Structure 1
Amino acid sequence: MTFAIHRRSLGALAAAAGLPVAARAQGAWPDRPVRLIVPFGAGGAVDTLSRSVANAFPQHANGQPMVVENRSGAGGTIAGGVVATSRPDGYTLMMADLGANAIGKMLQPSLSYDPLTAFTPIIHLVNLPLVIVTRPGLQATTLPELIELAKRRNGEMTYASPGVGHASHLSAELLARLAGIRWQAVHYRSGADVMRSTIAGETDWTFPSVSTSLPFIRENAVRAIAVSTAAAVPALPGVPPVGATYAGFSSATWHGVVAPAGMPADVTLAANRILRTIMLTPAVKEAAERVQAAQVVAGTPEEFASFIRTDAAKWEPVIREGNIRAE
């Protein structure tokens, strides 16, 4: 398995060339507009994050614009295919996520590219925590009560999912494995459809991002009973982690930026530096944390590459043992 930047340490590359290499990268890239391919439609959480980064980009990138291009469909793999076959020159980037950039080949064996070899990881931007929310009137106000109800209903409980292989879907299936239960996924096309179905009582519960569900939780349209992260989420005080019931459980939707495999190390370093600066700018960071309940990461390319490998390995047995397929 070969991420484009794994074989040699980026730190070693920079050190071997000396400080002038960093300066050269900063001066040379970018010298024209940069395209950011977003694997989901306009208006959602990923698009909002992408446009926040793009709006700040010229100020830190030689005045060059970042042009956001939405390429939705097939769980993000349409966008992934576009980027995987683009020139690795730093001018076509992708807002990465779990499906298109980590587990797509597991879900779709016929996929034209391998997410674990087709990209150069640049930066892990954020993790978006998930939260279990139940429909109005469901007789379960805690996670243990939800599990007990699912046992009594013997596989007939339903949950809404925004798509096969989405972090929400896989998190629900991982929870079922840990609890020794079965429930039925009902797949929709978007997070908005998921929330609508749960509020209307078409499905019993769902596992959306906090950012998607928070307005409905605050309006008491749904009930929040557990968050997916290892620790409590500040936006939902008093809502316990799933890990308080099932030790070690932790999941999130994540996003970062990748390029086609083979991008030169100096351009990777320059892109990481610019995007990290943007993400840690107080206005951008505060908006991500406040509006999207995001956990800002903004680490190194090597850290992002390691994270992608680890997350893919985490979900592989869930996908394999559940025979989960997107085709």
Structure 2
Amino acid sequence: MQRRDFVRTATLFPLAGSGLLRAQPDWPQRPVKFILSQPAGSGPDILARYVADRLARSWAQPIVIENKPGGQNVIGALAAARSQPDGYTFYYATTAAMVTNAYTFKALPYDPAKDFAPVRLVGRSPFVIAAAANFPARNLKEALALAKAQPGSIAIATEGPKTFSGMLADSVAGMAGVRFNHVPYTKAPDALQDVIGGRVPLVCLPDAALTAYLSSGKVRALAVSTAGRQPGMPDVPALSETFPGFEYTGWNGLFAPAGTPTEVIARVNRDLEAVMQQPEVLQRLQTLGSQAEQRMSVPEFEAFMHSERERWAKLVRQLDIRPE
């Protein structure tokens, strides 16, 4: 062996032993997939497609949206949990799938805490209680008075009594001392068509699912679930104005199947943060009914998830919701 070859080889061995020479191909090298538990055209779907489009531009790889609705998020969540943790499949999830399902199902076929790795919070989504254009009550106070005068006769369209929107409706009803008649829907557009058609007077859904209908005047917003009024809806009272201290906000975020390489999770978090800080993205998400989360590291998202599970465990106990 010539001396220069010996020196070069001797220099490389310590690096090889330390793992610094392991080949790490650039990621992503092929299309990435986002699984959603909601149907195409729903609020989370619209947000996911917009965010995915922005990320795909920086990755120079397409992001495929795969909708797997049904089963109160179970079908999509289970598909994502069982995906290969190779960094090419992610779960674009909502609060219901990653938090509340754990308290409303006796036997959930996936574990939100163990089967997924938090990547990043995307945005917080206020919920809106709205009414059909011809509903006689012009505000929340009048709607609650009507519900009190006609116990159990006022129907409200939700995603089901044990979903995020259903629990919000029950929370409001409980604080007001009234009872709503739940009409569950698996698809937000179907619920809104029934509200517009006058078959159901009230609806409780994420702002993102209602935005187009509110702007067209086909439905009227009565209250928003955040602690204060929203910039995009300055004339719509916050629920806290009727029930002081009350706040009930959903969110959407990106998760990876447990075991996904930490380097990929860190890369996606970093790239998503860059997207969330673009002014046009902030404006667009607000238009779509979501408050963009501009800064959040992976450890911060993990801490956020821990606090969310504690908060919802308390709320479920207060509503006396029994798992089924």
TM-score range with shorter-chain normalisation?
0.7 to 0.9
- Secondary structure in structure 2 of the residue aligned to 1:186: strand
Question: Secondary structure at the residue paired with 2:87?
Answer: coil
Where 1:316 maps in the other structure, the secondary structure is: helix
Q: Which moved more, 1:204-213 or 1:309-318?
A: 309-318
1:68 corresponds to: 65
Local SS of the residue matching 1:208: strand
CA deviation map 1:2-31 (0-9, x unaligned): xxxxxxxxxxxxxxxxxxx9xx99974333
| 1: CA distance, partners of 2:273 / 2:29 | 19
* Residue 294 (structure 1) aligned with residue 290 (structure 2): yes
What is the SS of the residue equivalent to 1:231?
coil
Computing the radius of gyration over CA atoms, which structure comes out larger, 1 or 2? 2
Is the 8 Å Cα contact of residues 43 and 206 (structure 2) preserved in structure 1?
A: no
C-alpha distance after superposition, 1:164-215 (max 9, x if no partner): 4432212111112222322221101211122122222222211222233233
Please state if 1:116 is matched with 2:116: no
Structure 1 residues 157 and 235, CA gap change in structure 2 (3 angstroms): same
Which one-letter code corresponds to 2:57 in the other structure? Q
Of residues 234, 237, 240, the one that matches 2:237 is 240
For 2:145, the equivalent position in structure 1 comes to 148
Per the alignment, residue 132 of structure 1 pairs with 129
The one-letter code of the counterpart of 2:189 is: A
TM value normalised by structure 1: 0.83
Classify the secondary structure of the residue corresponding to 2:205: coil
Residues 143-292 of structure 1 mapped to structure 2, 5 A cutoff: 143-290=140-287, 292=288
Structure 1 match to 2:52: 54
Q: CA deviation at 1:296?
A: 0.3
Partner of 1:14: none
The runs of 5 or more residues in structure 2 that have no matched partner are 1-18
Secondary structure, in 3 states, of the residue corresponding to 1:207? strand
Q: For residues 57-96 of structure 1, what are the structure 2 equivalents within 5 Å?
A: 57-61=55-59, 63-96=60-93
- Letter paired with 1:109: K
- What do the CA deviations read for 1:114-142 (whole angstroms, capped 9, x no partner)? 11222101110011222211234433222
> Does 1 or 2 have the higher relative contact order (CA < 8 Å, sep 6+)?
1
Q: Does 1:39 align with 2:43?
A: no
**How far 1:311 sits from its partner (Å)?**
3.0
What TM-score, normalized to structure 2?
0.84
Query: Shift in Å at residue 160 of structure 1?
Result: 0.7
For the 8 Å contact 1:227–1:241, the answer to whether it is kept is: yes
- Render the CA deviation track for 1:64-86: whole Å, top value 9, x for unaligned: 33222222221221111112122
Do 1:97 and 1:255's aligned partners in 2 also have CA atoms closer than 8 Å? yes
Equivalents in 2 of 1:58, 1:98: separation in Å?
24
Query: Equivalent of 1:104, from 87, 101, 105?
Result: 101
User: 3-state SS of the aligned residue for 1:130?
Assistant: strand
Q: Which amino acid aligns with 1:293?
A: G
Cα displacement (A) at 1:322: 4.3
Change (3 A) 1:313 1:157: farther
Bigger CA drift: 152-161 or 208-217?
Answer: 208-217
User: Structure 1's 31 and 231: CA in aligned 2 closer, same or farther, altered over 3 A?
Assistant: same
Equivalent residues of 2:213, 2:219 under 8 A apart: yes
Superposed CA offset, 1:201-260 (max 9, x none): 222211222233233333433322211111111222211100011112212331110001
Q: Secondary structure at the match of 1:96?
A: strand
Amino acid in the other structure paired with 1:54:
A
How many pairs does the alignment contain? 302
Task: Identify which range, 115-124 or 100-109, moves more after superposition.
Answer: 100-109
Contact 2:87 2:260 in 1 (8 A): yes
Give the distance between the partners of 2:81 and 2:209, measured in 1 at CA. Answer: 29
Contact 1:133 1:223 in 2 (8 A): yes
Residue 324 of structure 1, CA deviation:
5.5
Sequence identity percentage: 32
RMSD: 2.5
